[in-house]
Amino acid sequence: MKSTFNICFYAKKDKQKANGAYPLFARITVDGVASRFNTKLDVLPSIWDGKMGKATGRTSEASRINRMLDDINASLNTIYHEMQRRDNYVTAEKVKNEFLGHSESHETILTLFQKHNDDVKQLVGISKTIATYRKYEVTRRHLAEFIQSKYNVSDISIKEITPMFITDFELYLRAACKCGYNTTAKLMQFFKRIIIARNNGILVNDPFASYKIRLEKVDRGYLTFVGTAVSG
């Protein structure tokens, strides 16, 4: 997904130090949303051009500051483009965190789901049935369609699973996929089961904590997915 990306450097004038220098901050903006951090560089107001976002003059200090800012700029650009290639989904906060060394695991939702489904497939005829495998495949297919429809990307980081993501996925199943109440509930159960069991500690908090899954009582002993029978 294409996005807008901008980097600028500015002096934090309300944090002037005893020697008169200002700390220099970087502002990263992705799709209009900004994130800021301290570059750990200081600059005297006499050599700082706020409009240009760089030091002026031919002093060794001005050259040093501009060289460091150029290095930061290049690193941020590299991180941004790598994230676009790798994750398809980039935010200013993610770029900043990776630059500062606070990088997170890059496991994606559908990759995790596929690993689980591949494991289940290996167990078909041993401890799993083909029907169970198909349930998970149907869930993954709907999830992939939802991510493409909602975010216009092929996959996103597990870190992007929030309570809002969960409720949006449920709504998608009921509205776009025309799944019934119980079918939707079962699909959400499978989704939760995989994400909670297989995220390897990537999710610090449980995004499903306040999400309740309830099944309606039915007379028949099975539910039906789109083209797939779901037995107990």
Predicted local distance difference test score (pLDDT) of residue 159? 78
159 vs 68, which has greater pLDDT?
Answer: 68
Is 50 exceeded by the pLDDT of residue 232? no
Is 70 exceeded by the pLDDT of residue 76? yes
DSSP readout, 187-222?
Answer: HHHHHHHHHHHHSTT--SS-TTTT----PPP-SSS-
- When pLDDT is averaged across residues 184-199 and rounded to a whole number, the result is 87
CA distance 146 to 151: 8
CA distance 95 to 195: 24
CA distance 180 to 103: 40
**Where does the pLDDT of residue 103 fall: very low under 50, low under 70, confident under 90, or very high at 90 and above?**
low
Q: What percent of the chain has pLDDT over 90?
A: 59
Predicted local distance difference test score (pLDDT) of residue 104? 56
**Where does the pLDDT of residue 227 fall: very low under 50, low under 70, confident under 90, or very high at 90 and above?**
very low
Mind listing the pLDDT tens digit for each residue in 194-211?
888 776 666 767 888 888
Element housing 71 (H / E): helix 60-86
Predicted local distance difference test score (pLDDT) of residue 202? 67
Is 70 exceeded by the pLDDT of residue 99? yes
CA distance 95 to 141: 29
**Where does the pLDDT of residue 228 fall: very low under 50, low under 70, confident under 90, or very high at 90 and above?**
very low
In the chain, what are the domains?
Answer: 5-99 (no CATH), 109-230 (1.10.150)
In the block, tokens 């993501």 appear at 165
Is 90 exceeded by the pLDDT of residue 24? yes
**Where does the pLDDT of residue 57 fall: very low under 50, low under 70, confident under 90, or very high at 90 and above?**
very high
Predicted local distance difference test score (pLDDT) of residue 13? 92
